[in-house]
């Protein structure tokens, strides 16, 4: 999986932060154009690219499309972490270096997540 380009990252962050299920190019353009000089067609083509790459789903709504992310921000982050484990050498050492660098609160969250997953896996067996 490749990361996002600069504008792709901005658009994905905006989509993930929205309180609505879907949005149009016009809605995102109006929001972005209040903060930066950007063309409507740039937002439209970037959202279309994100759709073609599988990051956004869309459905026609009149003459426009409504877009929404195909995964949450957290699912995306987890996928990036999983890929880093696959390309980073020995995964046990990668994990060890990662754990050495996280805060105490993050460590507590990791322990809680591991307990939840272990419980779920034991129930599934």
pLDDT in tens, 22-69: 999 999 999 999 999 999 999 999 999 999 999 999 999 999 999 999
pLDDT above 50: residue 94: yes
Q: Which two tokens stand for residue 121?
A: 């896996």
CB-based contacts of 15: which residues, under 8 Å, 6+ apart? Answer: 23, 28, 56, 67, 68, 69
Contact call for residues 21 and 68 (beta carbons, < 8 A): yes
C-beta neighbour count of 108 within 10 angstroms: 11
What does residue 68 show for φ and ψ, rounded to 5 degrees? -155, 150
Nearest-angstrom CA–CA distance, 68 and 61: 13
Nearest-angstrom CA–CA distance, 109 and 114: 9
Q: What is the mean pLDDT of the chain?
A: 92
Residue indicated by tokens 């439209």: 44
Residue 102 is predicted with a pLDDT of 92
Smallest Cα–Cα separation from 77: which of 18, 3, 25?
A: 3
Nearest-angstrom CA–CA distance, 24 and 63: 11
pLDDT above 80: residue 9: yes
Nearest-angstrom CA–CA distance, 57 and 92: 35
pTM score, whole prediction: 0.78
């Amino acid at each position: 999986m490749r990361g996002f380009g600069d504008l792709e990252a901005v658009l994905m962050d905006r989509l993930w932060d929205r309180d609505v299920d879907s949005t149009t190019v016009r809605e995102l353009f109006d929001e972005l154009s209040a903060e930066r000089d950007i063309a409507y067609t740039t937002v439209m083509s970037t959202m279309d690219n994100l759709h073609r790459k599988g990051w956004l789903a869309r459905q026609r709504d009149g003459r426009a499309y409504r877009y929404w992310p195909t995964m949450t921000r957290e699912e995306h982050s987890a996928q990036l972490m999983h890929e880093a484990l696959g390309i980073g050498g020995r995964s046990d050492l990668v994990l060890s270096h990662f754990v050495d660098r996280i805060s105490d609160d993050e460590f507590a969250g990791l322990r809680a997540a591991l307990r939840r997953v272990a419980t779920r896996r034991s129930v599934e067996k």
